[in-house]
Chains A and B, each alone.
Chain A
Amino acid sequence: MTTFSANQVLDCKGLACPMPIVRTKKAMDGLKPGEVIEMQATDKGSLADIQGWAKNTGHYYLGTLHEGAVLRHFVRKASAEEEKEDATYGRSINNEELIAKLDAKDAIVVLDVREPAEYGFGHILGAVSIPLGELDNKHGELSKESEIYVVCRTGKRSNYACLHLNEKGFNVTNVVPGMSEWNGPKEEK
């Protein structure tokens, strides 16, 4: 049993097309940008439809877990903030440079600040998960002695996390672009 957390779980089990997508759309309107919805359905057609809908609306389809007859779809709401230009954190490396460090077995920490469901569907081998929204409460789990490389999907949330953690005195570097183009070692669902 996989325990991915989502901001909202929507039960569409037993509903026939088009209701699972219609309800997801409505629920999505109530979510904040960047939040994740888990939609549970038994209609097999929902697998292709949720992907098509997410693609056409700009939301980010994370993946689907198959548990018996139930399909658990995870979608992250498109985030307007991600499009907005924040101050850019000074220190960054690209994916290839991080792969080289991992290959060299350098003593580094990879911090993944995406949502738990995004992390769950695939992350860098050994990466620590603290979603951006929980960083304030959980940064105590990190050590100020560590060399920390922060990663998200496109480098924007991690940029924000770096600015934040740097202020608190952590040794952080942003990874650009991050998981959207990651082809290094990975743990996948």
Chain B
Amino acid sequence: MTTTTKANAITAREVTRAIIESKPLFILDVRNTSDYDDWKIEGGIVGSLNVPYFDLIDGVEEVLPKLPKDRDILVVCAKEGSSIFVAEQLGEAGIEGVRYLQGGMKAWSEYLEPVKVGDLKDGGELYQFVRMGKGCLSYMVVSEGEAAVVDTLRMTDVFEKFAKSKGAVIKHTLDTHLHADHISGGRKLAEQSGGTYWLPPKDADEVVFEYHPLDEQSRITVGRTELSIRPVYSPGHTIGSTSIVIDNQYLLSGDILFVESIGRPDLAGNAGSWADDLRKTLYSTYKELSGDLLVLPAHFGKTSELGEGGRVAARLGDLYESNPGLNIASDEEFRKTVTTNLPSQPNAYQEIRQTNMGRIVPNDDEQRDMEIGPNRCAVHDK
């Protein structure tokens, strides 16, 4: 292989910004077709085409007529090697401005975009971390040199650096439930920063490590003591699922309520037995909360759920109007919706749960592989 044309890289951060800003982009994904069908980069005006790299070893002529002329071409593969190989060949064939995704889908899966949600009443700020590649959302409360992180993702260094840039020390990490779609970084981040790790005790029957039980009696403060972090027991996605009200403004709903869907009750046990809990949480517990609370979920399923600046959020009162999962009239129909025709389960979800309980300890590469793919935590994700 004698290639003289060098292809330029584009980072996962730049692709994330392009999706948030609705910039046109065309992706040539050169992974195996089965990997592509399972999980790919998607967004409002992102077009894509899958041709495995091994069909392009002899030349790229066959793919040239299928590439649009009016937008930037981005070549994507699992890590980056094959995308460089194909991008260079496209360059040789005279296509200009072809780039490849640095670090491939692995980097895509791990990139977190921090987005400011808003200010707190007594000073302090709330940030959302958007994991575009997997649809996960984490949160950080910062106030007077202290920080708390909710639903921390595996990439703990991102939270450490961010807290440092705000001059804050991480005092608490909280998980709203035992996650099944991604590996929690909560315990690790708490250990590294000398903070306290909180987990709902009803989800922690099988965990093998020490944790602080997160329940409605828990009093957690960050910075100013007036700032309130109030847990609300809200079972349904898991038996222990706990929502968190921050500053009487924000409702961190975990995997119970999303912007365009609701949580699925089947990942941690028996869907049937938790469907009624989910019904009660969504149709009575949440109903008693203020409709002005801003719902901040732990996931999104589609990029249509991204709002201004990439933020995923909605007023609780508005969701009672627009979210199909909050507008199901009968108990029976609700039960049917959340227990039948569910999307396939997240990749390696049993192993991920075992990891989050501390029962298995995969290495970094194994953890990365386990998290490949979309989150599929909502009943309406396909």
Contacts of A25 in B (CB 8 A): 54, 57-58
Query: What range describes how many residues of B lie at the interface?
Result: 10 to 19
Q: Report B282-300 residues with CB < 8 Å from chain A CB.
A: none
Residues A17 and B32 in contact in the complex (CB < 8 Å), given A25-B57, A56-B52, A56-B54: no
Q: Is B123 an interface residue (CB 8 A)?
A: no
Which residues B165-207 have CB closer than 8 A to chain A? Answer: none
Q: In the complex, are the beta carbons of A52 and B79 less than 8 A apart?
A: no
- B82 and A18 contact, CB distance less than 8 A: yes
Is the pair A16, B54 in contact by a Cβ cutoff of 8 Å? no
By CB atoms of chain B within 10 A, which of A16, A17, A19 has the most?
A: A17
Q: How far is the CA of A19 from the CA of B55 in the complex (A)?
A: 13
**CA of A29 to CA of B81 in the docked complex: distance in angstroms?**
23
Known: A17-B81, A18-B81, A45-B78. A53 touches B54 (CB 8 A): yes
Q: Is the CB of A21 within 8 A of B57?
A: yes
Contact, CB under 8 Å: B54 / A18: yes
Question: Chain A 20-42 against B: per-residue CB contact (8 Å), 1 yes, 0 no?
Answer: 01100100000000000000000
Identity of the chain A residue whose Cβ is nearest the Cβ of B86 in the assembled complex: A18
Which of chain A's residues have a CB closer than 8 A to the CB of B54? 18, 21, 25, 49, 52-53, 56
* CB of A29, distance to nearest CB on chain B (Å): 10
Q: 1/0 per position for B3-37, CB-CB distance to A under 8 A?
A: 00000000000000000000000000000111100
Does A80 reach chain B (CB closer than 8 Å)? no
By a CB distance below 8 angstroms, the chain A residues around B78 are: 17, 45
Binary contact readout B74-104 vs A (1 if CB under 8 angstroms, 0 otherwise):
0001110110010000000000000000000
Contacts of B1 on A, CB cut-off 8 Å? 22
Q: Check B32–A22 contact: CB distance below 8 A.
A: no
Cα distance, A25 to B77, chains bound together (Å): 19
CB neighbours (8 Å) of A45 from chain B are 78-79
Contact status A22-B79, CB under 8 Å: no
Question: Given A25-B57, A48-B35, do A19 and B52 touch, yes or no (CB 8 Å)?
Answer: no
A17 to B77, Cβ gap below 8 A? yes
Name B57's contact: one of A18, A48, A52 (CB within 8 Å): A18
Find residues 46-69 in chain B having any chain A CB closer than 8 Å to their own CB.
Answer: 52-55, 57-58
Bound complex: CA of A6 vs CA of B100, how far in Å?
A: 37
A17 touches B34 (CB 8 A): no
Residues on A with C-beta less than 8 A from B55 are 53, 56
Given known A48-B32, A48-B35, A49-B32, contact A19–B57 (CB-CB < 8 A): no
A52 to B52, CA, bound (A): 8
**Residue total for A at the interface (Cβ-Cβ under 8 A):** 13
Neighbouring A residues of B81 by C-beta, 8 Å = 16-19
Chain A residues whose C-beta falls within 8 Å of the C-beta of B82 in the assembled complex: 17-18
Closest to B30 in A: A18
Considering residues B34, B54, B58, which has the most beta carbons from chain A within 10 angstroms of its beta carbon?
Answer: B54
**Across the interface, which residues of B come within 8 angstroms of A53, CB to CB?**
52, 54-55
CA distance A56 to B52 in the complex (A): 10
CB within 8 Å for A22 and B52 given contacts A48-B34, A49-B32: no
Q: Nearest A residue to B369 by beta-carbon distance?
A: A44
* Bound CA–CA A16/B57 (angstroms): 15
| Chain A: CB-nearest residue to B365 | A44
Interface centre among A18, A19, A52 (most CB of B within 10 A): A18
CB contacts (< 8 Å) of A16 on chain B: these are 79, 81
A52 CA / B55 CA spacing, docked (Å): 9
Q: Nearest Cβ in chain B — how far from A32, in angstroms?
A: 20
Min CB–CB distance A120 → chain B (angstroms): 25
A16 to B84, CA, bound (A): 12
* Distance in Å: Cβ of B367 to nearest Cβ of chain A: 14
- Nearest to A18 among chain B residues (CB) is B82
The interface residues of chain A lying within 8 Å CB-to-CB of B58 are 25
Q: B79, A17: Cβ atoms under 8 Å?
A: yes
Write out the residue numbers on chain B whose beta carbons fall within 8 Å of the beta carbon of A17: 53, 77-79, 81-82
- A19: chain B residues at CB < 8 Å are 81
A53–B82 Cα distance when bound, in Å, is 14
A68 to chain B, nearest CB (A): 15
Closest to A16 in B: B81
Chain A residues within 8 Å of B33, by CB: 52
- Report the nearest B residue to A51, measured CB to CB: B32
B57 / chain A contacts, CB cutoff of 8 Å: 18, 21-22, 25
List the B side residues contacting A22 at CB < 8 Å: 1, 57, 85
Jot down 7 A-B pairs with beta carbons below 8 A, ordered by A: A17-B81, A18-B81, A21-B53, A21-B57, A22-B85, A45-B79, A49-B32
Known A-B contacts: A16-B81, A18-B54, A22-B85. Give 19 more (CB < 8 A): A16-B79, A17-B77, A18-B57, A18-B81, A19-B81, A22-B1, A25-B54, A25-B57, A25-B58, A48-B34, A48-B35, A49-B32, A49-B52, A52-B33, A52-B34, A52-B54, A53-B52, A56-B54, A56-B55
